[in-house]
Amino acid sequence: MPDHILPRADCYIAAMPRSGSTMLANLLTLPPCRLALVEPWLPHGCRSPSVLEHLRGFGFDIPDSEWTDAGGPAGREENGPRVARLLNSRVSGLERWGVKEVRPALHQPSLSLLKPRRVVILVRDMFSAAQSLWDKARRIPRTGQDEQSLATFILDAATCLQELARDLPTDQACVVRYEDITTDEACREDLGRWLDWPLAGNPSRDLELYGREWEIQRHGEAISPARCGQRIDLPSQALDFATAVLERAREYQKAFGYAS
């Protein structure tokens, strides 16, 4: 994809699954001037209805026909530039804009496309992240999704984030831990200053678009250390899954300062 289609992003969030990345993107989003897109898969020209509604909810007027035409009948590699052109005129006038992704295969293509000024590598203790991923998969089942595919997904994500933390320039990228950003207001303020982008949005924004109403009920519309850290009762199967994943993630735990 040509690198001139979209203006340079102010921030890219490369995140572990279930590390609070949607929360962070929502904190960064404040219409009509600041927008962090939630998993738009820009290199592949995502046309998810939730992305469209997310953009409309922000205030962009995007007719159904324009969104459909952006994808058209072409393959996904051709759809990428089309969707990027659709967004270009809309994000160009924003004070700040960025993207968050969790799928490891999208990080390098997204970084190449967006050339972000800052990169946030968002991580979480693997045992907690794996339990939360298992719980989400139970609540939002998908065809072909099983424990093996979930384990592969989260472990691949862990490997990719280790590589990004190792390879990206230290003045461009920083590691942020879920456990810190959800419990420490000073951490959030420091991150906002580093990004030159205040964390002033609603952390529960648009969660219903992604089928995650239970998180709105659990967390409300403000960050609460007590709620973010509360113990969730899960069946033994979830604990067994998380234990098995943790056993294969020792390097990740060590790299980001977690107990293994």
Cis peptide before 32 (omega within 30 of 0): yes
The model's pTM is 0.90
Q: Is the pLDDT of residue 74 over 50?
A: no
Cβ atoms of 176 and 120 closer than 8 Å: yes
Q: Average of pLDDT values for 139-148?
A: 91
Buried b (16+ CB within 10 A) or exposed e, 178-203: bbebbbeeebbeebeeebebbbebeb
- pLDDT per residue over 193-225, tens digit each? 999 999 999 988 888 877 676 676 665 666 766
Lowest mean pLDDT of 50-59, 147-156, 234-243, name the range. 50-59
The mean pLDDT of the chain is 89
Reduced to 3 states, what is the DSSP secondary structure of residue 100?
strand
Is CATH 3.40.50.300 correct for 11-255? yes
> Domain coordinates of the chain in residue numbers?
11-255
